[in-house]
Structure 1
Amino acid sequence: MIEFFSRTRLCLTVLFHMLNIVSNKVLDYRNFLYCIQNAGFDVLLINIITSFFISLVLSLQIVKEFLYLDAAHLVSSILALSFIRELSPVLTAIIIIGKVGSLFTSEIGTMVVTEQIDALFILGINPVYYLIYPRFLALIVMFPLLNLFSLLTSFFSSAFICFVLYNISPDFFFLNLFYSTIYSDLFKSLIKVFIFAFGVSIISCVWGIKTSGGSKGVGNSTTSSVVTSLLFVFISNFFLSYVLFDNFLSVFSVI
């Protein structure tokens, strides 16, 4: 427990340095592009495939109930709100944590146990700016883009399953979707995504920096990083949803 609070305090310190525009941060562009590839292009296909099938399953469960109530015009509206507000941000976060967060932790943890961090200090290089800053920026840039791809994939896969199984035309589906989409929800969803990116990037890197105990310690830090990041996303998602969206208003009131 003491170790957890120590790491949490270090996370806040690192976040302050990342957001401090006065500090003289030097970005290693090769390292940054490497992180962009890991946090973006290497995750994109997994993100699209996962979003496609998750949205298919959700559509299967929801559409038939609305058709039973003779409310086909509400199908795309409810699905769009579900994807924008909750499903796409959280699903993208889970994929990034499993694929990218674990990679960042294991990379930095391996550098710690092999004393490469000490070598950076000897060379006069700040490991926070050399290792954490490019990873932090990479997730800030790629997280919203991956969330956008997840949203688009979810919309098209839902339209596909509605047309194939329930004979709801894509024109009708997207007309109601665009008519009912509240653009403030898109902005609020973007806020949620940025907060997820802040938390996941800082937790992944700090847990790597605090690694000790050789190869076993790297494995333990990686596992702990993934679990902690998931808990951060799930807990913060509840409070962000409560604060950002109309808490006690039915979604039907805005459709």
Structure 2
Amino acid sequence: MQSLPSKYNFLYDFGRYLIMMKQAFGRPEKFSMYWKETMRQMNDIGVGSLIIVCLISIFIGAVAAIQFAYQLDGQLVPRYYIGYIVRDLALIELSPTITCLVLAGKVGSNMAAEIGGMRQKEHIDAMEVMGVNTAAYLISPKLIAALFVIPLLVTFSAFVAVGGGYLSSVPTGLITDDEYIQGVRSFFVPYNVFMMYVKSFVFAYILTTVSCYQGYFVRGGSIELGQASTRAVVYSDILILLADYLIAVLLTG
């Protein structure tokens, strides 16, 4: 088949993506199979990513506290603002964005490699011959699991980041315990939590569906599978950052 001109590649890929997602939202043939696969994906995404999310979040909060303490040096701004800034940075930006960027590299590449391997070994073709809606069976459980687990990971990340800020600022004498807790409790806006969850759901959808798309339509051998996994991470990260900007404009404008 003659290849499409490069200027049409985006429209071609976008059309295939929409068709794939339409099939993915189709009615499942057997709910018990989907339930087991969804539980497995929740375990892989949640438990498998908990340690790396915890480590990243600790250092996110620690660095944010140290950097802001440096900026406050010699200023008239109260020191308890360190806790306030760490909390809001974690809620609005750092926890949802950084966590999902990292998960795109870990979880997204795994999804692309898993589905791509099944495509190359003709497992997907065999299931389609048996009448299985492969897009629904392979993608829907991953998407449901990601939409449920990733917001929980982001919530956990925000709490750990605040704790990381405490560990880097209070024991080192940058701020007292009472001042940091006062800052964390000050000027709390519930809308920021809403923004965090909006970003979490959108980013989870992006990294899951883009990664599954790259794996679902992979062709060739091991080199092409590696390239598909790389594209899954790169495209997911770019789209997450773009979505981050658009959400910030829409929800804070």
Q: Scaled by the length of structure 1, what TM-score is found?
A: 0.89
Q: Distance in 1 between matches of 2:52 and 2:155?
A: 14
Q: 1:84 to 1:17 in 2, by over 3 A?
A: farther
Q: Distance in 2 between matches of 1:244 and 1:120?
A: 43
Q: 1:87-145, CA deviations, whole angstroms, 9 ceiling, x for partnerless residues? A: 11111111211110000000000111111111111121111111000000111011101
Structure 1 residue runs of 4 or more that deviate by more than 6 Å after TM superposition: none
* Superposed displacement of residue 66, structure 1: 1.8
Q: 1:211-234, CA deviations, whole angstroms, 9 ceiling, x for partnerless residues? A: 001211111111111100010011
Aligned length: 243
* Superposed displacement of residue 70, structure 1: 3.3
The corresponding residue for 1:61 is 67
Residue aligned with 2:171, SS: helix
- 5+ long unaligned stretches in structure 1: 248-255
Alignment match of 1:85 (pick from 92, 102, 108): 92
- Give percent identity, aligned residues only: 25
> Is 1:7–1:206's contact at 8 Å kept on the other side of the alignment?
no
Alignment match of 1:39 (pick from 45, 56, 70): 45
Q: Distance in 1 between matches of 2:19 and 2:72?
A: 49
Which shows bigger deviation, 109-118 or 68-77?
A: 68-77
Q: Give the counterpart letter for 2:119 in structure 1.
A: V
Q: 1:14 to 1:166 in 2, by over 3 A?
A: farther
* Superposed displacement of residue 11, structure 1: 2.6
* Superposed displacement of residue 16, structure 1: 4.5
The corresponding residue for 1:200 is 207
- In the alignment, structure 1 residue 96 sits paired with structure 2 residue 103: yes
- 5+ long unaligned stretches in structure 2: 1-5
Q: Distance in 1 between matches of 2:113 and 2:174?
A: 48
Alignment match of 2:250 (pick from 229, 236, 243): 243
Q: Give the counterpart letter for 1:60 in structure 2.
A: I
- In the alignment, structure 1 residue 191 sits paired with structure 2 residue 198: yes
Which shows bigger deviation, 67-76 or 33-42?
A: 67-76
Q: Distance in 2 between matches of 1:206 and 1:99?
A: 16
Q: Scaled by the length of structure 2, what TM-score is found?
A: 0.90
Q: Distance in 2 between matches of 1:149 and 1:191?
A: 16
